Structures are given as C-alpha cells and as structure tokens.
Amino acid sequence: MKEGDLKTPEGIFKVKDLYPHPQWSKFVWLDYPNQQSWHKHLQAKKQGIIPLSASVGSAIGIHGVNQGNDYLIEERNNWTWGCISLKNKDVDEIYSVIEIGTVVKIIS
C-alpha cells in the first residue's frame, strides 16, 4: 500500500518486462503501481491508514535469489521489499512460459 512497508501489493497486474538480473537470477517486472494500486493508495491516505506523505512505491516483481541461496525461500518470511521471491528453478519455469502482458493476480 505504501513504499517501505515490506508488503507485497495485492491486486491484478500485468508483466511489464522480463530480464536477467545480476543479483536475483531473473526478474519479472510487474506494472505496479497501476490504476488499481493508485486507487487503493489514495483511499488509504484519505482514511488516515497511511500518512499523506507516503509514496506508493515501485519496482515490484517476481525474482529468484543469489546463486546458492535457495534456503532464503524456505527459512525466511517477508525478506524482500515487496517482491515475490522464488527458488531459481521455479523462476526459470515461470520465466519460460510467461511474456510481456501476462496477467498476474496477487492475493494474500
């Protein structure tokens, strides 16, 4: 809902880009913030849930982990800044079947 809350935004997004990432193996970049995200963010400000000065954030996606660090997926919770992180083999599988424009639904 706001930048820095360490939460993965919920909603319906589209894949904006896919590319190899030097730190996270591969990165599937989502179109966050989109119109739905902005609406939720502004409503939260109006309702006093988040500060008026809060930023909506950006650069949310699905990515892997540093080579050899798959344990992060099994041993840690909420260690990203809002992204979805998977084992590299799982990111490889997703990466091979999605394309720009693919719809991604994130729910809790």
Among 21, 39, 41, 63, the one annotated catalytic: 63
- Chain center to CA of 92: 16
Known catalytic membership, residue 41: no
For 47, which DSSP code?
Answer: T
Cα separation of 13 and 68, whole Å? Answer: 29
Among 21, 39, 41, 83, the one annotated catalytic: 83
Cα separation of 83 and 2, whole Å? Answer: 13
Known catalytic membership, residue 39: no
Question: At a CB cut-off of 8 Å and minimum separation 6, what does 45 contact?
Answer: 51, 52, 54
- What amino acid positions are annotated as catalytic residues? 63, 83
